[in-house]
Structure 1
Amino acid sequence: MNTFITNKNLERRFWSKVDKGAIEECWNWTGAKQTKGYGSFGVGPGKTQLAHRVAYMLKEGPIPRGLVIMHICDNRLCCNPRHLKVGTIADNNHDAISKGRNAIGERNGNSKLTEEQVKDIRKLYGTGDYTNRQLAQMYKMSDSAIYSITKNKYWKLPLAG
């Protein structure tokens, strides 16, 4: 599976692209980067791996199937094995949410509403003069999306009118 990590030439090439600092500091990747800011390392013809995953495998061995490597330091370029840990996708998502790094509200590229519009929807719904269906028509949204907003299932931020 991850047999490339036993190749000493690859290992030397990998670490030559890492700016190693003190043991407790981030060791930043200086090689190629992906569009999301993670380091990318060529492990064979047409094959790449995320740099932090390679750093973990060089230190700890193969990554168990279905798990991800998380940055404790939240630095996408860090390859210091002491700053990396194994987790599930759910662990990684929870970590991002707890640290405010996930795209919520207007920061989410799929959001169709602004925070102000969400406040207005909740305020109008709270008057009792508008149904979810009427608000959905006004804001060109589905009934279920408006329902989720008025019941605080979406946009759970403190958006009190």
Structure 2
Amino acid sequence: MIYGVCSYRVRREDGSLYNCTSIRDTNRGKGPKKRGYCRRHEDQYLKEAKPGAVQSALDRLAGIITSDSFTGCWLTPAKKSSTNGRAQIGCAGLTWTTYRLTYVHFFGPHAKGLELSHSCDRKLCCNPLHVIPMTKKKHEVLTRDEQATNIWRIAQANREAPVGLLTFAETHGLPLYGTGTRFANAFFGADYLLADKRVARAV
């Protein structure tokens, strides 16, 4: 237990107190004020942030994004000191990978035991439409089946964006959907992509 138990606590309607017993994935703060959450409650960091802090971080992030109009990728530079080759940004008292921050902010947290995988296969991309939670085993299956992976990528890249994400992308001039993805969807047809059995197994 490197991090301790998740700090999430909530009072149920019947008056009882629910305490999350999952292990924290990250910590914030020092000493007795140290708090941390598991992946299921990771959005609490953003909810507890000072007013304007999350929006400020997102605006800073938008300023370092290089967009790819063909793929719809939002590429962010990784520091030379990065040990995993992923881009990071500070927000709500934590250092986040850029794609985790955008995913959690616009889509919310994900279940325990899942990891965020890129449908575009570009770990520097932080377009949350290109990121989806899945088990490590499922990711390995997709890696072995190139054709299923390509179909899955097209289907994922065409997911519907929430209003907040649409507004953010429009405000900062960022493409949500790549022209290449839209072409593939128009050529194959959404019904074909979603009906394909390999896609059904992957998503």
Q: What TM-score do you get using the length of structure 1 for normalisation?
A: 0.50
Structure with higher Rg: it is 1
TM-score computed with the length of structure 2 as normaliser: 0.41
Higher relative contact order (CA 8 A, sep 6+): 2
